[in-house]
Amino acid sequence: MSRIGGFLLVMLIAIATATAVAFLLYRNEVGRLREAVSRGSLIANLDIGPIEYADSGTGIPLLSIHGAGGGFDLGLAIAADLVGGGFRVIAPSRFGYLRTPVPRDPSPAAQGDAHAALLSRLNVPKAVVVGVSAGARSAVELTLRHPDKVAALILIVPALYSPTSRVSINVGLGNRFAFWAVNAGGDFAWWAAETIAPSTLIRFLGVRPAVVAAAPQAERGRVMSFVRSVEPLSLRFPGINIDSAPELHELPLEDITAPTMIISARDDLFNTLPAAEFTAGKIPGAKLVVYDTGGHLLVGHAQQVRDAVRVFLEGAGVIP
């Protein structure tokens, strides 16, 4: 065998070995994640169909409604970030996420009705309702359609209707790759990007990578936990598909009577600020909090957000 042929053989063996090792790491990691999301939740068989949910903690009931790419697990994480202890957190997996199937009518209004039915099934007369990103749509519908169920409404980076500027994301090369991974339901593609090019996924989640790079280590870890929370992507794809093609329209927000707080950031790459401002302007007495930086995950403001939420809930008479 020639020297060149031997070198090529060594290279092929090295590539094959690296590929095999990567595949084993991927299979083990995704297997662990699938196992994790198979535990810690229950199924409520409602008239609209089965709804997966987690019910954790004791205290004031709080309904935590996750955004795109989430599930009950992300709902629990969001509530822990926002309020800490002292709450009974009810975290449903929205339509198409994890073990909640897509019903015939997957609209935010139908999802809002499902939230209300779940609270009734759990004998919860009224709850603090937190809606994050795409989860804000069904949170608002719940508040409009079942106002007796909502003690207070908190909307975080809400992906809602704005008459002036739509919620959107740019279609640069990195985001085109991420869109491809999502549309393919590609667990391996997402895992590989998380391992090799996490900044691509950070941008896809609505945050400028430079903001994360400048943040303290704890915040960088929090952002990466959000990136990892999307896996297994294939178990969340039907819900992501619903959230990716919203038919947003103006709602009678002036009819909302629940105390309301809305939080967004000027540099949110999903452009939620116009919707946040419009929604706050329509809901009577709504409190609007806007950060200059932080993106869609409000990077660098975790403690400020928690403090603001607690002050808001105290002012609303929800907590002493």
d(CA 312, CA 320): 11
- Per DSSP, what are the bridge partners of residue 195? none
Who contacts 6 (Cβ-Cβ below 8 Å, separation ≥6)? none
- Regarding whether 218 and 271 lie in a shared domain, the answer is no
As a whole number, mean pLDDT of residues 287-296 equals 97
Q: Burial letters for 145-177: b for 16+ Cβ neighbours within 10 Å, e otherwise? A: ebeebbbbbbbbbbbbbbeeeebebeeeebbeb
Neighbours of 141 (CB within 10 A): 22
Q: With a cut of 90, say whether residue 172 has pLDDT above it.
A: no
Distance of CA 302 to CAs 112, 242, 294, 298, Å? 27, 28, 10, 7
- Regarding whether 203 and 146 lie in a shared domain, the answer is no
In a domain, 23, yes or no: no
pLDDT of residue 27: 60
In a domain, 4, yes or no: no
- 204, HSE (Cβ side, Cα atoms, 13 Å): 26
- Regarding whether 147 and 263 lie in a shared domain, the answer is yes
- 238, HSE (Cβ side, Cα atoms, 13 Å): 14
- Regarding whether 155 and 284 lie in a shared domain, the answer is yes
- Regarding whether 284 and 143 lie in a shared domain, the answer is yes
As a whole number, mean pLDDT of residues 97-113 equals 96
- Regarding whether 121 and 53 lie in a shared domain, the answer is yes
pLDDT of residue 248: 87
Task: Say if residue 284 is exposed, middle or buried (CB neighbours under 10 Å; 0-12, 13-18, 19+).
Answer: exposed
Q: What's the whole-model pTM score?
A: 0.87
Helix then strand then coil, % of the chain, to nearest 5: 50, 15, 35
What digits encode the pLDDT tens for the residues 203-231?
888 999 999 999 999 999 999 988 888 88
As a whole number, mean pLDDT of residues 242-250 equals 84
**Residue 125, token pair as written in the block:** 């007369």
Q: What is the DSSP string of 156-206?
A: ES-----SSS-------HHHHHHHHHHHTT-HHHHHHHHHH-HHHHHHHTT
Beta strand ranges found along 11-59 (DSSP E): 42-46, 49-56
pLDDT band at 199 (very low <50, low <70, confident <90, very high): confident
Q: With a cut of 90, say whether residue 120 has pLDDT above it.
A: yes
- Regarding whether 141 and 225 lie in a shared domain, the answer is no
pLDDT of residue 237: 87
- Regarding whether 188 and 87 lie in a shared domain, the answer is no
Q: With a cut of 90, say whether residue 50 has pLDDT above it.
A: yes
**Where is pLDDT greater, at 46 or 40?**
46
**Residue 231, token pair as written in the block:** 């896996």
pLDDT of residue 195: 79
- Regarding whether 152 and 288 lie in a shared domain, the answer is yes
In a domain, 107, yes or no: yes
Beta strand ranges found along the chain (DSSP E): 42-46, 49-56, 60-65, 87-92, 127-132, 150-156, 260-265, 287-291
pLDDT of residue 84: 80
Range of the domain at 145: 42-167+256-315
What digits encode the pLDDT tens for the residues 125-171?
999 999 999 999 999 999 999 999 999 999 999 999 999 988 876 54
Q: With a cut of 60, say whether residue 101 has pLDDT above it.
A: yes
pLDDT of residue 10: 44
Residue 128: DSSP 8-state:
E
Provide the Cα torsion 168, 200, 97, 184; round to 10°. Answer: 100
Q: With a cut of 50, say whether residue 21 has pLDDT above it.
A: no
- Regarding whether 91 and 72 lie in a shared domain, the answer is yes
The candidate with the shortest Cα–Cα distance to 52, out of 191, 230, 235, 234, is: 235
pLDDT of residue 229: 85
- Per DSSP, what are the bridge partners of residue 63? 90, 129
d(CA 190, CA 227): 9
